[in-house]
C-alpha cells in the first residue's frame, strides 16, 4: 500500500513539473511568434 501511494505521488509530481515546463515553453514560443508577426512585444 505504501509503495503504491509513493508511486502515485511521484507520478503527480512528474505531471505537475512537466506541465509547468510546457506552460513556460509555450508562453516563450507564443511571444517569439508574436514578435516576428507584429514586430513588437506581446500584450501583458
Q: What is the pLDDT of residues 6-43, one digit of tens each?
A: 999 999 999 999 999 999 999 999 999 999 999 999 99
Is residue 2 pLDDT above 90, yes or no? Answer: no
Q: Structure pTM?
A: 0.74
Q: What is the pLDDT of residue 23?
A: 98
Q: What is the pLDDT of residue 1?
A: 72
Planar angle of CA 18, 16, 5, nearest 5 degrees: 120
* CA–CA separation, 32 and 28 (whole Å): 6
Q: What is the largest CA-CA distance in the chain?
A: 56
Q: What is the pLDDT of residue 9?
A: 96
More confident residue, 1 or 16: 16
Contact 8, 14 (CB under 8 A): no
Amino acid at each position: 500500500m505504501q509503495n503504491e501511494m509513493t508511486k502515485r505521488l511521484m507520478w503527480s509530481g512528474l505531471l505537475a513539473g512537466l506541465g509547468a515546463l510546457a506552460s513556460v515553453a509555450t508562453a516563450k514560443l507564443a511571444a517569439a511568434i508574436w514578435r516576428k508577426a507584429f514586430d513588437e512585444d506581446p500584450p501583458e
